[in-house]
Chains A and B, each alone.
Chain A
């Protein structure tokens, strides 16, 4: 029989081993993406890959339109989702305890569980025709359609995080504001929300990450045209949709290598947003 110390050593070794594997996974993914997009950097043709033209047949592999598409769709989604999400959080806190507020809380949690492909499928047949008929322009597959649905996807993230952070505000502050004659709404808007500003930023940045990283909604609803959108009703292609649409028939082709540049851009963005959040959370009052 093994003695205790030996057992402890073995179990510790197993823990360390699995942690090394899982802990280095993000780094491994980064190195893979970097390694496979390296030919683009070293060939000195990076400028070519950031140009506005994507036409593999003509040898043009610019991913700039996809970067622009991602930026447009995600930022419009956040312009909608950030205020709506924060407003929902404030509403749920303002009427905390009421039946409608409880229902809303369940509903928002339910929303976070709805598969994105289900949102996309439903919106394809109800929102896209609506947009097409309302604006009488284009096919309805556009930045606006994708952003509207993406906003729904992101709202639960924003409002649940914001609500948690509003609740973490020390009780004393809330009571003090109340005893000075502030109403519940005034306390929320003038004391709790400003106190939890880092939380609100976290909620919005994490939500933005979800909006930028989602593939299927933009793929189904934005039309996937490779051009820089000039209006909300133009079709656009996101970085994520571009990766999904790659025809990987030829792994050596340049158009396949350009995919890794898209992946690298997405990875770097999510990494920087996490680092940014760390810095924000550290800031003193």
Chain B
């Protein structure tokens, strides 16, 4: 290649490599600059004593504690639905499904993974309406519906990581158990699954992060701006991402806006920790597999 062309391409590559991080860095720096001074117990609990708030003795009106608790509960519930379903399906796809069935399942999970989250939220809303009309008039969009919809959102990720982790177990290792007389089930439970539990776990944590940051699904399925700590599966709830969105469109004064910045940082820290942990785990798993086989 011509020297001028090479030089131009290299300059363009360097510009990209510098400009993109700078742009993101600018957005993050701005956020930290505005939000860090606000981070305090007052941001979380308002004027209520933290102990009383944590023990649910007193409701927090002026802090983001209810939103954090709501996010925690809805994510916990959704992961509880999604893990058993996702891992079992992943095992089936990797170990038992063959030929056409596997192809159909693969496409189905790919499509599910690519469905926009707002459409899944819309599905959840429709489900709530359907249940309201046909099962019980007491059912409205609520914690239960939201967590189920979030579970649908993260299902394909859990299925995929389970499937890939199981398929990455090497053939000699698989055969060793079988040749010692283990049944297929026994071999799966005692040899293959323990071997890839780290990989599955890192996938689950990544999926948890996705569930925690998603706003679109919960928006249509039961999140509200002010609800306190939810008391049952059928009550409405608050959540951090929605709180941030709500503040951005409805803030009344500078103090509320500052709380929005604080909440954004808290959400960033939560998802950042989840992603960091998942990546660390993935790296450890990769090292273990490479070092062993």
Contact = CB atoms under 8 A, between A and B. Distances in A.
Interface string B175-219: 000000001110000000000000000000000010011011001
Contact of B126 (A36, A107, A278): A36
9 contacts: A26-B108, A29-B119, A33-B123, A115-B212, A118-B244, A209-B114, A213-B119, A248-B125, A267-B119
Question: Chain A: interface secondary structure?
Answer: helix
B117 A19 contact: no
Contacts of A58: none
Interface string A1-33: 000100110011011101101111111010011
Interface string A83-105: 01001101100100000100010
A122 interface: yes
B126 to A, nearest CB: 5
Interface stretch (A45-53, A171-179, A225-233, A268-276): A268-276
Contact of A216 (B125, B215, B247): B215
Given A113-B209, A113-B272, A121 B85 contact: no
Counting chain A residues whose Cβ lies within 8 A of the other chain, the interface size class is 35 or more
Contacts of B9: 185, 189
Contacts of B91: 15
Interface of A: 4, 7-8, 11-12, 14-16, 18-19, 21-27, 29, 32-33, 36, 84, 87-88, 90-91, 94, 100, 104, 107, 109-127, 152, 155, 183, 185-186, 189, 206, 209, 212-216, 219-220, 240, 243-244, 248, 251, 259-260, 263, 266-267, 270-271, 273-275, 278
Contacts, number: 221
Question: Chain B: interface secondary structure?
Answer: helix
A194 to B, nearest CB: 14
A186 B9 CA distance: 11
Contact of B119 (A107, A113, A219, A263): A263
